[in-house]
Amino acid sequence: MTTPHWPNAAAVTLDDWGPSKNVLEGAPHLSGKVMHANPDGSSECGLWSCTPGRRRVTIPADEFCYFVAGRGSYIADDGQDIPIAPGAMVFFPAGWSGLCIVTETVTKAFMSR
């Protein structure tokens, strides 16, 4: 079995994943690259990026995020404000919902299961 790895993740070219859905303000656009996905769909990891805007999100599976670039915040339906900036780590439990507000293009490493 080969171990997926990117020796220089900052140099990885992200794929265009198109305009975001559930947009409330602006025109957020998504890009990313999946490093590994289990064949049964039970987990995946990689890089994800979003340009500025405000959108409604529901996270379907547990997701761990480590933000490497950009600024913004997630605001949970219960009002919790989760600021994001380089170095921030966030764990979203399956079913988390709220707002994603990106003020400066955000890039994160993620693992979902």
pLDDT tens-digit map of 16-37: 999 999 999 999 999 999 999 9
In the numeric block, the tokens 């299961």 are attached to 113
Residue pair 52/42 in contact by the 8 Å Cβ criterion:
no
Q: How many C-beta atoms lie closer than 10 Å to residue 95's C-beta?
A: 10
Residue-averaged pLDDT of the chain: 96
The CATH architecture one would assign to domain 14-112 is Sandwich (2.60)
pLDDT averaged per 10 residues, the chain (length 113): 87 96 97 95 96 97 98 98 98 98 98 96
Query: So what's the pLDDT on residue 108?
Result: 98
Measure the CA–CA gap between 72 and 25, rounded to whole angstroms. 14
